[in-house]
Amino acid sequence: MTDLRSRPLIEKLVGFDTTSHYSNLELMAFVQDYLKSHGVDSQLIHDATGTKANLYATLGPTDRGGIMLSGHTDVVPVDGQDWATDPFKVTEKDGKLYGRGTSDMKSFIAIALAYVPEFLKRGLATPIHLAFSHDEEVGCIGVRSLIKMMNEQPIRPVMGIIGEPTSMQVCVGHKGKRSFRAIFKGKEAHSSLTPMGVNAVDYAARLAVFLRGMADRIAGDGPFDELYDVAYTTVHTGVMKGGEQLNIVPGHCRMDFEFRHLPKHDPDALQAEIMAMVGELEAEMKAHSPETGIEVEELSGIPALDTDPTDEVVTLAKQLAGRNDHAAVAFGTEAGLFQQSAGVPCVIIGPGSINEAHKPNEFISLDQVAKGEGFMARLADKVCAS
């Protein structure tokens, strides 16, 4: 498979360390220059710091909406991971390309870019929109300004293909997510005088127990959607930090928690149930000592994706992938935001496996790259005039 046209671009893109806490401007400058060399103008949408950017470009006619090919340019950190190779230099071994972002999701971006000359040479009857974002891995932050810009355009995409790694399965849904941080402010006292204090850790633990009970109830009662591996909404406490030493009633505790909800499970109702419990706990704390309390901050949130399996974008994706089935993924993507905030119906389909993402020695098989290129070649057949 040495003739894979996207191989040089995969190597180039992986070579940029676009870990979320670093800038992605060097990568975006390369993409801009690459597109410019083929006569395609593109627009950068910078973040408030000016150190990161999204990119948007349209190939072909500008008087009608087309098909959006979208991916995020940032990757997760490699710090503390035991890599056998340089994570930012592609290494081929046993039919696999190793490197950070090979699976999630620079290979899809490389494939889309590799087919730009083909799209242009054959003449596009339907536009192709390229939409590449920053900071997806830290809460889908960057894409929001990209969507804002898209909504200001006279012409917008009529459908979107989000190239997250699905092993080239057509995915019509993903769960939504909301994550929170609760800060419990108690009242310190000597541990021999515990009734004089308000134990912040105790109250955080009670909220954690409530959340676990909520999770168990939903797991038993639903709602359910068998399209998902985990067929129900999940609730999870991930971090709890509080207390200084054993002989002090702790006056502070931090707790991070989240829920990942099915598309048809109302997230506002879930959040309201949790906040009602927070209110009960806080009232109890304040009854003992008015200066105590609980502050809850929503850290991030992404809407669920729920594309009608009969939608045109699903039909197209199945044709291009050469399959009749569809699935859903448990992990969140930018697709829900594109659909909810920009009105662009989306599917998720891309080369590589999510099971290899975020791990040391991340890889994509050459077979998956070839399948991704086959998908893009059939897209060219569909949208090009010749």
Q: What are phi and psi of 372, to 5 degrees?
A: -65, -40
Q: Where are the beta strands (DSSP E) in 262-320?
A: 293-302, 305-306
Give the SS3 label for residue 348: strand
pLDDT for the residue 153: 92
Query: Which pLDDT does position 292 carry in this prediction?
Result: 98
Break the chain into its structural domains and give their ranges.
7-173+304-383, 176-302
Distance CA 319, CA 291 (A): 62
Return all residues near 43 (Cβ < 8 A) that are at least 6 apart.
55, 56, 57, 149
Beta carbons of 62 and 340 less than 8 angstroms apart: no
Classify 335 as helix, strand or coil: helix
Tell me, what's the pLDDT at 385? Answer: 77
- Record the tokens describing residue 293, joined without a space: 């309390």
Q: Out of 3.20.20.140, 3.30.70.360, 3.30.70.240, 3.30.420.130, which CATH number does the structure's domain 176-302 have?
A: 3.30.70.360
Instruction: Say how far apart CA 191 and CA 180 lie, in whole Å.
Output: 30
Burial level of 359, CB count in 10 A (0-12/13-18/19+)? middle
Residues in the chain: 386
- According to the model, what pLDDT value does residue 2 have? 55
Per DSSP, helices labelled H in 124-266 are 143-151, 200-221
Model pLDDT, residue 135 = 96
Q: Topology of domain 7-173+304-383, per CATH? A: Aminopeptidase (3.40.630)
pLDDT digits (tens, 9 = 90+) for 218-251: 999 999 999 999 999 999 999 999 999 999 999 9
In the three-class reduction of DSSP (H, G, I as helix; E, B as strand; rest coil), residue 255 is classed as strand
pLDDT digits (tens, 9 = 90+) for 345-381: 999 999 999 999 999 999 999 999 999 999 999 999 9
Spans of the chain, pLDDT less than 70: 1-2
- How high is the pLDDT of residue 386? 73
